Structure 1
Amino acid sequence: MVTNYKRLVWAIIIGYTMLSIALLTPALVLLSVKIINIDPQNYTYTFGLCSAFGTAFAIIAPPLGGSLGDHTKFKFGRRRTWILLGGVIGAVGMLMMGLSKTITPLIIGWIIVQFFYNIAGASFAGLMPDQVPEEKRASYSGIIGTAQPLGVFFGMILSSLLNAKYPTVLWIILAFIGILGPVITCLLINDTPANNIAKNKKSFRETALSIYPSPKKYPNFTKAIFVKIGVLMGYGATSYITVMLAKRFGMSGNDAGTLVSLINLGALVLTAVASIVGGILSDKTKMQRPFIALGGLTIIIGLLFDMFATGIPFVIIGSIFVALGFGIFNSTDASLVMRVLPNPNDAGKDVGLMASANNLQGVLIPMMAPMLLGIGSWYAFFGGLALFVVIGIIVLYMIPEDPRYKSKKLGDVKVEKEVEEEVK
């Protein structure tokens, strides 16, 4: 049973925004503060260890969560089940973190938060192939793309109001928000159990190999993953702006952090607007590649401003371009992903693999940063990440355009069927 489109959009905007508040506020602010308070002498090592464990489970969780939904036959629904369970169990991890006095329960709590909130997030994403009509997917992608920026925005407000004087209260509020959002979504949407499709029994090896769709049989799925990784590597450079301001321009840590917070608040608005407008235009024009490419090129322009920055205004302008580019990319990327999914019966798992690709830049950039900075300082850092975006755009044009656009352009109904076969 499909949910009314407007009702579905509101249900996911509310639920996914609240889940993003719960997940991203610790990731961006609270985790580092908590570690400084618990283990100030070994902060760098402990923060790296905690982040590494969290990121590892954030990469594992989405395809697992999507696959669980693909095969869940509870009457409550295949996506609703894991949206709710992910929110509830993730909240337990949040409380562990907030109440922890030592590093071990903090790390365990962060693993639980990352794993189960990302399972819930993958289940939110699985609702698109399940319930959103193809002709509305870019608009939907653009609107839903505002959830994470909104989550960051409201999370920063909560953090600034409560973290200094009432940190434990803040952790409890975040745990409550992480449950309330999924509950609201589950109350508003319709959902059904997984289809009862007979499947041949597979060996362990066959099951393991089927986790990732065959690149030979479904090449466009793999290409779409490379596009996503390439563009997001460029966007991930924003995580190093604070460090650059301190090292390159001699700002104090507090001043750099304050400036970046202000930049990020403005960037969130630009990202949200670009995401909504880009999604609507993509559905109107029935094109995807030009919008994704435009997003990537806009990010490259921003990285060039950062690369050759001689003062703070250049950094601000660069951040504006990166935010706009990410919003444009985000508006259409998900609809491209939906179009190249190999098997509707494994849609949740495959969307989860794409979500894992989102998280890879959080691992790859910290690994590459010391090498790039050692080779050529910030020129090599921003230039190297811009090169990833270029590669992503090149791979993008190896994926056929939306069949609806090609058939409309050529005025041939048969073309649509031909291109659909080509996409598969």
Structure 2
Amino acid sequence: MTTPRFVGNDAGPSGLPGLAEPVERVGGGWVARVTLAGLGVWAGFFGPIQVLLAQQAELVAPGDKEFVFGLVTGLGSAVSVVANPLFGALSDRTTSRFGRRVPWVLGGALVGAAALLVLAVADSVAVMVLGWCLAQAALNAMYAALTATVPDLVPVRQRGVVGGWVAVSQTLGIVGGVGVATLTGGVRAGYVATAAAVVVLTLPYLLRSLDVPLPASLRPLWNLRDFVRGFWVSPRRHPDFAWAWLTRFLVNLGNSLGTLLLYFYLDDAVGHDDPEAGVFVLTVVYAVFIVASTVVFGQWSDRLRRRKVFVIAAGLVTGAAALTLALFPTWTGALVGACVLGVGYGVYLSVDFALCTEVLPAAASRARDLGVINVANALPQVFAPFLGALLITSAGGYVSLYVTAAVACVLGSVLVTRIKSVA
């Protein structure tokens, strides 16, 4: 097994594994293992969200299925906002001989799979809520630890391409999770298959993680007040981190507005005969263009050693896609918009992730701080449906919806110029 090499930085003594800056490129095998584990995480998230929870809500409460689905997924989203930075902070403080991240990846996968099995036998709203909240907590613990392995082990000059593969795992995991949930036949079988996918896809990473143990002598002392206060990253002391958070929030808000209400857009504005099938086609097109663009542009970003120009271009492209949907409410316009949105968001996912890893305040709290960044991914998914519904019903319809999405994307791309420490 290859041992990663490190150089010292301001977060720890020179050459100290785990806290110092990695300098040796990671191999393709490690990238593949992390990508597979990411596939498992995202399949665990989106198989239930996109298919199984809705079907189960209809079985458990056929007269109130929309309310039950919203209740379960809403409470799960609230858990995810807290769980990601929380478990990230706990992994930062872990001194297991297997490494800081492996125990949380293993525990997250096993508890997440167990929670999905609880959902497989859930026959009441209360058990659905319990099972899904537990699944969200466990899978977010796993995701927080996995994400932190990139700044732990990947040198800056390779983070664009690795960020691209992280984005590929997210996109393919969503599609694969929906496929597994749909094709297995029945809610119970879907949950069992999804639980198995989470565990099986994580095994290769667990067997050869390259995770570096943190010496016990460097474990931070436990002080609850300081631990809680650590989740607030001062914009005054760390302005680049604050700008990275805000720009990520804005672009993800624009993307969420552009994608979450597609069914109603196709039904009401486009007049599509089968909006459900239309959403599936647009989702596949969107995913294909994300996968096609993310690794290529991430690698290009690494070669040029520049991030901001790619993030700016990605925001402008996603804004253009939203304007296409606003100005051309036709099936052809929707297809073009899905292609353009996929390209723009694919570039954004890989390069902005690399940028975020370069503005983290301290190496000792990488997972916690990336968890705070990940809140900027989760919050737009909570706000977008309500903001979108308000725009559609009270502020100009779908034109205002997609114009707002375009403005959010463009504003997010422009404000990235305020980040000073990254080229």
> In the alignment, is residue 192 of structure 1 matched against residue 228 of structure 2?
no
1:21-36 equivalence runs, <5 A = 21-36=43-58
Q: Report the Cα offset of residue 203 of structure 1.
A: 5.8
Q: Which residue does 2:241 correspond to in 1?
A: 221
**Distance in 1 between the 2:181 and 2:67 partners?**
24
**Distance in 2 between the 1:375 and 1:176 partners?**
45
Contact 1:295/1:328 (8 A) holds in 2? yes
Amino acid at match of 1:52: G
Q: Which residue does 2:78 correspond to in 1?
A: 56
**Distance in 2 between the 1:193 and 1:200 partners?**
14
Q: Percent identity?
A: 23
**Distance in 2 between the 1:185 and 1:30 partners?**
27
Q: Report the Cα offset of residue 276 of structure 1.
A: 0.6
Q: Which residue does 1:167 correspond to in 2?
A: 187
2:270 to 249, 262, 285: 249
1:71-220 equivalence runs, <5 A = 71-163=93-185, 166-196=186-216, 204-220=224-240
Contact 1:7/1:188 (8 A) holds in 2? no
Contact 2:270/2:330 (8 A) holds in 1? yes
**Distance in 2 between the 1:139 and 1:35 partners?**
40
Q: Secondary structure at the match of 1:212?
A: coil
Q: Report the Cα offset of residue 197 of structure 1.
A: 5.3
Deviations 1:2-32 (A, max 9, x none): 3942222011011111222122111111111
**Distance in 2 between the 1:48 and 1:157 partners?**
22
Q: Which runs of 5+ in 2 are unaligned?
A: 5-24
Q: Which residue does 1:239 correspond to in 2?
A: 260
**Distance in 2 between the 1:391 and 1:144 partners?**
25
Tell me whether 372-381 or 153-162 shows the greater mean CA deviation: 153-162
Q: Which residue does 2:337 correspond to in 1?
A: 318
> In the alignment, is residue 349 of structure 1 matched against residue 365 of structure 2?
no
Q: Using a 3 Å threshold, how does the CA distance of structure 1 residues 269 and 200 change in structure 2: closer, same or farther?
A: closer
2:384 to 351, 365, 369: 365
**Distance in 2 between the 1:191 and 1:323 partners?**
33
Q: Secondary structure at the match of 1:376?
A: coil
Q: Which residue does 1:291 correspond to in 2?
A: 310
**Distance in 1 between the 2:92 and 2:228 partners?**
16
Q: Report the Cα offset of residue 198 of structure 1.
A: 5.1
Deviations 1:234-270 (A, max 9, x none): 1112111111111223446xx2111111221122111
Q: Which residue does 2:14 correspond to in 1?
A: none
Contact 1:287/1:401 (8 A) holds in 2? no
Tell me whether 230-239 or 362-371 shows the greater mean CA deviation: 362-371
Contact 2:291/2:346 (8 A) holds in 1? yes
Q: Which residue does 1:6 correspond to in 2?
A: 28
Amino acid at match of 1:315: A
1:367-406 equivalence runs, <5 A = 367-373=386-392, 374-400=394-420, 402=422
Contact 1:299/1:322 (8 A) holds in 2? yes
Contact 2:261/2:385 (8 A) holds in 1? no
**Distance in 2 between the 1:288 and 1:264 partners?**
27
**Distance in 2 between the 1:219 and 1:80 partners?**
31
Contact 1:286/1:402 (8 A) holds in 2? no
Q: Report the Cα offset of residue 183 of structure 1.
A: 2.4
Contact 2:282/2:334 (8 A) holds in 1? no
TM-score, normalised with respect to structure 1: 0.90
Q: Which residue does 2:22 correspond to in 1?
A: none
Q: Report the Cα offset of residue 219 of structure 1.
A: 0.7
**Distance in 2 between the 1:220 and 1:84 partners?**
33
Contact 2:247/2:415 (8 A) holds in 1? yes
Q: Which residue does 1:44 correspond to in 2?
A: 66
Contact 1:233/1:361 (8 A) holds in 2? yes
Amino acid at match of 1:33: Q
Contact 2:181/2:190 (8 A) holds in 1? yes
Q: Secondary structure at the match of 1:145?
A: helix
Work out the number of aligned pairs and report it: 399
Q: Report the Cα offset of residue 155 of structure 1.
A: 2.3
Amino acid at match of 1:271: I
Amino acid at match of 1:130: D
Deviations 1:51-86 (A, max 9, x none): 110100111111112111110011122101000100
Contact 2:163/2:354 (8 A) holds in 1? yes
Deviations 1:132-159 (A, max 9, x none): 0111011111122100111122223323
Contact 1:73/1:193 (8 A) holds in 2? yes
